[in-house]
Structure 1
Amino acid sequence: MHTLADLRAGKLAGITRLNLSDALGEFPEEIFSLADSLEVLDLSGNRLTELPDDLHRLKRLKILFCSNNPFTRLPECLGQCEQLFFVGFKACEIVDVPANALPPALRSLVLTDNRIETLPDAIGDCAQLQKLMLAGNRLRQLPESLARCKRLELVRVAVNEIHELPRWLLEMPALAWLAFAGNPLNDIHTEEPIRQIPWPQLALQQVLGEGASGVIQQAQLRADDDASALDVAVKLYKGDVTSDGSPLNEMQACIAAGRHAHLIPVLGQIQDHPQGARGLVMALISPSFVTLARPPTLESCTRDTYAGTRLSVATVKRMAAGIAAACAHLHAHGINHGDLYGHNILWNEGGDSLLGDFGAAAFYPDEETGRRLERIEVRAFGVLLGELLDGCEANDVETAGLRELEQRCVQADVMQRPGFAEVERQF
């Protein structure tokens, strides 16, 4: 974090990234002194309601964060910033998205948790658009012009007012990650019974991790009639809207998924939390399991980043087979995971794998839509398979069959892709 005092004193000359959060009520003119170097500008957590009309003077600006500011309108000056490809206005008060506020190089647009009811048709002119984050708004429909965005891969429209997923959306050639829970759609899943675990039977221990949807802690579960205790993991959900949707939708999907060898086992649902928090009790995973990849960076946009681990072809096959089996299980239960990525997979050196993080999961609205949703997710699997093969130490001859499967999974014609049951049989 930087200070306005240092900026005014000239101490930040030549920096490429500026973070200013100091209850600013207006855009500091001194930022323009960085016009020759500034590429990333983060003004989140201030009191800004507008940006200067001549923002394009920041000629090297590529990434702009303005989250948690009381903007009611996406600033039109953004449309004149020629190199700007990432725009983030999360948790503002935006109602209006003007057509000319969309920069020509736009790849990622994050407008999560606002008050937007409509998007301009001009969004279809954003030919480079790959990621569109719109969860937690008031959209009743998406503009059909979005169908022209042939590179669009990730769409988050959870917790809106959408009554139907349009056919054109389900036919987009590059779409691989779609989150839509929390809309007034049909829902054909049936409730699964789950064990209720009273809060007093849990003794919380250290925090294992924290994400947008909640906190995971190690705990001991003690039954009333048993002196022994079981080591478990407890996830307590937050009530806030995340970039993927509602944490409570995530919990519902976890419960409905049931048991599978390549999913983290859910042991029960927390009952009688003193603050009324919602949560799940899950199996505690061995520390031999580690996260497969890191999430996408701002530059990689929709692609995970890997640490350079080299895998044998046998390990790739074992991991891919496990994840395909997990996805086949989910879709057989009418569940779309929505976030099938390496950073949501745990694995060990033996090639065992577990698919986690149901934050973007949603239930099929109907069977026909479900068939299309499955093949959209198959494209995400194809991308993952390609990434695993990129880290494989085997030669091209040994991986030829897997590369062919990858291409079938990512082909542009959605309904020509195989379903997960067929993918699973390839291993």
Structure 2
Amino acid sequence: MDSQWVGTSTEEPVSPSSPIAGDRLVLEYRSDGCECFLQLTEAKRGDLEQVEILHLSSNNAQISQAVGALHILHELRVLVLKGGLARDELGKCQHGLLTSLPSELCNLKRLTYLDLSYNSFTELPSCLTFLTSLSELHLSCNHLRTLPEDISNLVNLTYLSVMFNQLTEIPAAIGQLRKLDKLYLSGNKLESLPEEIGCLKVCTELDLSDNCLTGVPETLCEYFLQTQF
């Protein structure tokens, strides 16, 4: 793709303030980011299809419509869709409006990094378990109550953060994520952990703080004892 900046619509001249730069598109600091993205899907679709890195974090009501058009970005490797950009009258970050993702996103086969933190998901969108190239998945500060067993499909995950959700349990399938190096579970409602969590042999960071745990699996104790000596 031409390395020059590309205009946001057919009516605007090419300028340094236009959003697409090479394989990167950053719109999260624009109040009209979602609207701009939707315009690009019509005016500059050919250039948009070559984007590999997209930052579209927003608390805008158009975010769901914008996300519905993401499936055309076949080259996408990095996708940031965080909420939390708006604050209430007390200065607290407000959750984004995303509660689901379209099934078509399962076709983003090159995606390796996905950030959905500070949104309003109550369950993991089913399309995510088809994104087997994912290595980093950020889901902190949502309203997740559980994780599906088929999270085990994400065999290339090295980083998983589900901090500050409403999780009451972790599926045994978590133990099948054999490449997982960092796992953050703090700020949930966990009372126990599956024995299979001890199968995460390459995990170097595990945060279980601020839960309701009464103990940890013996397999986990054995693993950490082995790594200490």
The TM-score, its normalising length taken from structure 1, stands at 0.39
1:78 is aligned to 2:116: no
Aligned-residue offset at 1:53: 2.1
Q: Tell me which amino acid in the other structure corresponds to 2:205.
A: L
Q: Which residue of 2 aligns with 1:163?
A: 214
Q: Quick check: 1:26–1:50 contact (8 Å CA) kept in 2? A: no
Aligned-residue offset at 1:29: 2.8
Q: Tell me which amino acid in the other structure corresponds to 2:71.
A: F
Aligned-residue offset at 1:129: 1.1
Q: Which residue of 1 aligns with 2:71?
A: 32
Gaps of 5+ in 1: 176-371, 373-412, 418-427
* Separation in 2, partners of 1:30, 1:55: 9
The SS at the match of 1:54 is: helix
Between 39-48 and 25-34, the greater mean CA deviation after superposition: 25-34
Aligned-residue offset at 1:26: 5.1
Instruction: Output one character per residue of 1:60-116: Cα deviation in whole Å (capped at 9) or x when no partner.
Output: 100100011110001222111120111111100110211113422111110010000
Aligned length: 177
1:267-346 to 2 correspondences below 5 Å: none
* Separation in 2, partners of 1:28, 1:18: 11
Q: Tell me which amino acid in the other structure corresponds to 1:31.
A: L
* Separation in 2, partners of 1:77, 1:28: 13
1:90 is aligned to 2:130: no
Q: Quick check: 2:70–2:105 contact (8 Å CA) kept in 1? A: no
* Separation in 1, partners of 2:178, 2:97: 32
1:17 is aligned to 2:53: yes
Q: Quick check: 1:121–1:144 contact (8 Å CA) kept in 2? A: yes
Structure 1 residues 78 and 27: CA distance shift in structure 2, 3 A: farther
Aligned-residue offset at 1:27: 5.7
* Separation in 2, partners of 1:152, 1:44: 26
Instruction: Output one character per residue of 1:346-401: Cα deviation in whole Å (capped at 9) or x when no partner.
Output: xxxxxxxxxxxxxxxxxxxxxxxxxx5xxxxxxxxxxxxxxxxxxxxxxxxxxxxx
Aligned-residue offset at 1:414: 3.8
Q: Which residue of 2 aligns with 1:336?
A: none
Q: Which has the larger radius of gyration?
A: 1
* Separation in 1, partners of 2:163, 2:78: 20
1:182-261 to 2 correspondences below 5 Å: none
Q: Which residue of 2 aligns with 1:53?
A: 103
Q: Which residue of 2 aligns with 1:154?
A: 205
**Percent identity (aligned):** 31
* Separation in 2, partners of 1:90, 1:14: 29
Structure 1 residues 29 and 157: CA distance shift in structure 2, 3 A: same
* Separation in 2, partners of 1:99, 1:26: 29
Q: Which residue of 2 aligns with 1:125?
A: 176
Choose the corresponding residue for 2:112, options 54, 58, 62.
62
The SS at the match of 2:143 is: coil
The TM-score, its normalising length taken from structure 2, stands at 0.71
* Separation in 2, partners of 1:79, 1:87: 11
Q: Tell me which amino acid in the other structure corresponds to 2:55.
A: N
The SS at the match of 2:109 is: coil
* Separation in 2, partners of 1:152, 1:21: 29
The SS at the match of 1:117 is: coil
Q: Which residue of 2 aligns with 1:105?
A: 156
Aligned-residue offset at 1:136: 0.2
Q: Tell me which amino acid in the other structure corresponds to 2:181.
A: Q
The SS at the match of 1:171 is: helix
Q: Which residue of 2 aligns with 1:275?
A: none
Q: Tell me which amino acid in the other structure corresponds to 2:78.
A: V
Let me know the Cα RMSD of the aligned residues.
1.9
Q: Tell me which amino acid in the other structure corresponds to 2:110.
A: R
Aligned-residue offset at 1:16: 1.5
Between 162-171 and 105-114, the greater mean CA deviation after superposition: 162-171
* Separation in 2, partners of 1:120, 1:166: 14
Q: Quick check: 2:193–2:216 contact (8 Å CA) kept in 1? A: no
Q: Quick check: 1:56–1:81 contact (8 Å CA) kept in 2? A: yes
Q: Tell me which amino acid in the other structure corresponds to 1:44.
A: K
